[in-house]
Chain A
């Protein structure tokens, strides 16, 4: 009896942030094993945060991810403020939403145009794509820049901004400063609508999963910084209850911990989850553009996440314009903190999904224990589930095309592997024993 092993090896998955791998083994046309591993070197953030002052957390945890530093800064400052019983309200809170809008625009547009669109149009990269679609790539680069300009204005620089601190900011911008952003954001609103129309015209594999969508939910607004943790399957908890409902597991194939909902299993965080749980909180224009693009109020096809990123980009541009319009310079750039021992929890919506932080602090405000649960670690099991289903539907494809669609399935999640490890190497193994 001869063994026919079908094996596809991708040792380093491209167009994602960080280092990961995928292994697929098919025996006699049946899927035996599918796994998505993370070989990004461990960096031990939770360990070396121990003993550091609380005030270091936003600057240090920002370095977990160069693509979404604001998310780390926001989840950490909210956790510290929770521990100290401080609340940041009014215009300071609005400025936090504004800088988060900038990060969503910059990160979503980077993913849509430079990392994901080449899959749909059949190019190795955006640079290859630019040879035939220069205007598309240029549109993306300019829109991305509009997001970065918000982050730079409020945060000091686009990568690892320096202005966010526990309690608020070091310096707040003037109304005039923010108004300089308006003309480009007005252009960006039209560009975001154009982007949604463009990506909605791509062809999408028929593929849906019965996801449990987990995200923040706030009574008045599309969530960035605060709210309850909810799902489309009945979860509704306070951020501080995270560890009662979620479980992190360490498995051999990965330097990232896998998350699951206790007694239920895999769940999905990110744009599709936020959109499904908060559709009514989008701006009227964003809702209209979504429906015109053929989306329903819930979208179950992860390949269409690229359209939802476009909708969220449009939302973020409109929200930024609203905040700037209503901005009045606050009297103080921060609120006073009453430093004492305690436990703090914070969750915010990183572009690629909910990010949870928990800190235990001593009486001087030094960190005794830190827990950081990044979005990609939470999506890891769901990504594997998707790979299994896509693989079942695509076994007839030759290896090169199969590899590409499996890689694309992973890129649907805009995985940030640097974050998850605190990933990509693709292997498809086909064995035929007959």
Chain B
């Protein structure tokens, strides 16, 4: 029987999430023995025609061409998975959604007329139906292996939806907010990284994006008690998952407050 065909596509991104596929190292050849890596330009010149059984998408939609291309990819993909913060939430480049893209283009490029770009950076789900979203900036490589394994076994991937706090407890890391007074986004951020930052004495900066029903209001109040300003809260929520709805609403709220108070 022919192996299921896997495709990997890139949109606006840093390549870090697709690199995770090569970073599984000794598992790479095992994966290649159970799926046919049919279209993965970063790793191979070979392109086997679709349709593909499982398609991994890295990156966000930022150009008119990409807004068209994602529809073609959806048509040739049976099961479409977004990998990482860019594909799932628009990525760090979604910070331009709050700016003036024309002014941004003028800032970086001498000839803005050569540049073709949309005014927004948006996640894949804003354009086509997505079958599963894997979070993280970058994704956890073992979670990526789990998504591929679950697909092959015909089950839902076993990916946690609780907060980073649970992972800290499990690791035995003392709470950095309580013990050190270090502001931390862990209570509103989805687990999956293994709670790395608090174990290095720094607060979580939210690279896995909002957990299910995050209480950003309570957390922001706690940050303010630690002396963080409205502007500081805007910076914190406008990170790698800035355009994910709960973080977007929160940063907009504190931006309005900061402006009203002339911060």
* A residues with CB within 8 A of B: 12-19, 40-48, 50, 52-53, 56, 59-60, 63-67, 69, 110, 114-115, 118, 124-128, 130, 134, 137-138, 141-142, 144-145, 148, 156-160, 162-163, 165, 169-171, 249-252, 255, 257, 333, 407, 416, 418, 422
B44 contact from A125, A159, A250, Cβ within 8 A: A125
Query: Are B43 and A125 in contact (CB-based, < 8 A)?
Result: yes
Query: Are B25 and A142 in contact (CB-based, < 8 A)?
Result: yes
Given A44-B101, A47-B103, A63-B92, 19 more contacts at CB 8 Å? A15-B45, A42-B105, A43-B12, A43-B92, A47-B99, A65-B14, A114-B43, A125-B43, A127-B29, A128-B46, A130-B29, A141-B29, A148-B23, A159-B23, A171-B201, A250-B110, A251-B114, A416-B15, A422-B108
Closest partner residue, chain A, to B104 (CB atom): A47
Contact with A along B1-43 (1 / 0, CB 8 A): 0000000001111111111101101101100100001001111
User: If A48-B104, A159-B23 touch, does A56 touch B196 (CB 8 Å cutoff)?
Assistant: no
A48 contact from B32, B96, B110, B138, Cβ within 8 A: B96
Residues on the B chain within 8 Å of A162, using CB: 196-197, 200, 202, 205
Query: Are A14 and B14 in contact (CB-based, < 8 A)?
Result: no
- A-B contacts, 10 of them at CB < 8 A, read A42-B109, A42-B117, A114-B43, A125-B44, A138-B26, A145-B26, A159-B20, A170-B201, A249-B110, A333-B201
Query: Are B15 and A67 in contact (CB-based, < 8 A)?
Result: yes
CB distance from B205 to the nearest CB of A (A): 7
Query: Are B138 and A114 in contact (CB-based, < 8 A)?
Result: no
Query: Are B37 and A69 in contact (CB-based, < 8 A)?
Result: no
Within 8 A of A (CB), among B66-109: 66, 91-93, 95-96, 99, 101, 103-105, 107-109
Residue B193 at the A interface, CB < 8 A? yes
CB distance from A95 to the nearest CB of B (A): 13
CB distance from A240 to the nearest CB of B (A): 22
How far apart are the CA atoms of A191 and B99 in the complex, in Å? 49
Query: Are A159 and B16 in contact (CB-based, < 8 A)?
Result: yes
Residues on the A chain within 8 Å of B32, using CB: 127, 130
User: If A48-B104, A142-B25, A250-B114 touch, does A19 touch B10 (CB 8 Å cutoff)?
Assistant: yes
How far apart are the CA atoms of A142 and B24 in the complex, in Å? 10
Query: Are A63 and B26 in contact (CB-based, < 8 A)?
Result: no
Closest partner residue, chain A, to B36 (CB atom): A127
Query: Are B235 and A46 in contact (CB-based, < 8 A)?
Result: no
CB distance from B54 to the nearest CB of A (A): 16
CB distance from B97 to the nearest CB of A (A): 10
Residues on the B chain within 8 Å of A66, using CB: 13-19, 138
How far apart are the CA atoms of A74 and B137 in the complex, in Å? 19
Residue B149 at the A interface, CB < 8 A? no
How far apart are the CA atoms of A249 and B33 in the complex, in Å? 46
| Closest CB pairs A-B (n = 7) | A66-B16, A125-B44, A47-B104, A124-B46, A48-B95, A250-B110, A41-B12
User: If A41-B63, A250-B109 touch, does A110 touch B22 (CB 8 Å cutoff)?
Assistant: yes
Closest partner residue, chain B, to A127 (CB atom): B32
Residues on the B chain within 8 Å of A118, using CB: 45
How far apart are the CA atoms of A141 and B96 in the complex, in Å? 38
How far apart are the CA atoms of A173 and B101 in the complex, in Å? 42
Q: How many CB-defined contacts (below 8 Å) exist between A and B?
A: 184
Query: Are A159 and B19 in contact (CB-based, < 8 A)?
Result: yes
* B residues with CB within 8 A of A: 10-20, 22-23, 25-26, 28-29, 32, 37, 40-46, 59, 62-63, 66, 91-93, 95-96, 99, 101, 103-105, 107-111, 114-115, 117, 121, 137-138, 193, 196-197, 199-202, 205, 207, 235, 239-240
Query: Are A18 and B28 in contact (CB-based, < 8 A)?
Result: no
Residues on the A chain within 8 Å of B10, using CB: 18-19
Residues on the A chain within 8 Å of B29, using CB: 127, 130, 134, 137-138, 141
Residues on the B chain within 8 Å of A53, using CB: 235
How far apart are the CA atoms of A291 and B115 in the complex, in Å? 47
Residues on the A chain within 8 Å of B63, using CB: 41
How far apart are the CA atoms of A66 and B66 in the complex, in Å? 21
Query: Are A41 and B66 in contact (CB-based, < 8 A)?
Result: yes
How far apart are the CA atoms of A44 and B103 in the complex, in Å? 10
How far apart are the CA atoms of A17 and B59 in the complex, in Å? 13
Query: Are B117 and A160 in contact (CB-based, < 8 A)?
Result: no
Residues on the A chain within 8 Å of B110, using CB: 249-250, 257
User: If A156-B200, A422-B108 touch, does A144 touch B25 (CB 8 Å cutoff)?
Assistant: yes
User: If A130-B29, A138-B26 touch, does A44 touch B14 (CB 8 Å cutoff)?
Assistant: no
Query: Are A171 and B200 in contact (CB-based, < 8 A)?
Result: yes
Residues on the A chain within 8 Å of B117, using CB: 41-42
How far apart are the CA atoms of A40 and B46 in the complex, in Å? 20
How far apart are the CA atoms of A160 and B63 in the complex, in Å? 25
How far apart are the CA atoms of A379 and B201 in the complex, in Å? 39
Closest partner residue, chain B, to A173 (CB atom): B200
Residues on the A chain within 8 Å of B240, using CB: 63
A59 contact from B43, B99, B111, B205, Cβ within 8 A: B205
User: If A66-B16, A250-B109 touch, does A157 touch B96 (CB 8 Å cutoff)?
Assistant: no
Query: Are A47 and B42 in contact (CB-based, < 8 A)?
Result: no
Query: Are B44 and A41 in contact (CB-based, < 8 A)?
Result: no
How far apart are the CA atoms of A127 and B44 in the complex, in Å? 8
User: If A127-B29, A148-B23, A159-B138 touch, does A18 touch B109 (CB 8 Å cutoff)?
Assistant: no
Residues on the A chain within 8 Å of B46, using CB: 124-125, 128
CB distance from A144 to the nearest CB of B (A): 6
Query: Are A18 and B137 in contact (CB-based, < 8 A)?
Result: no
Query: Are B45 and A14 in contact (CB-based, < 8 A)?
Result: yes
Closest partner residue, chain B, to A119 (CB atom): B45
Query: Are B137 and A257 in contact (CB-based, < 8 A)?
Result: no
Residues on the B chain within 8 Å of A13, using CB: 41
- Which interface residue of A41, A52, A171 has the most chain B CB atoms within 10 A? A41
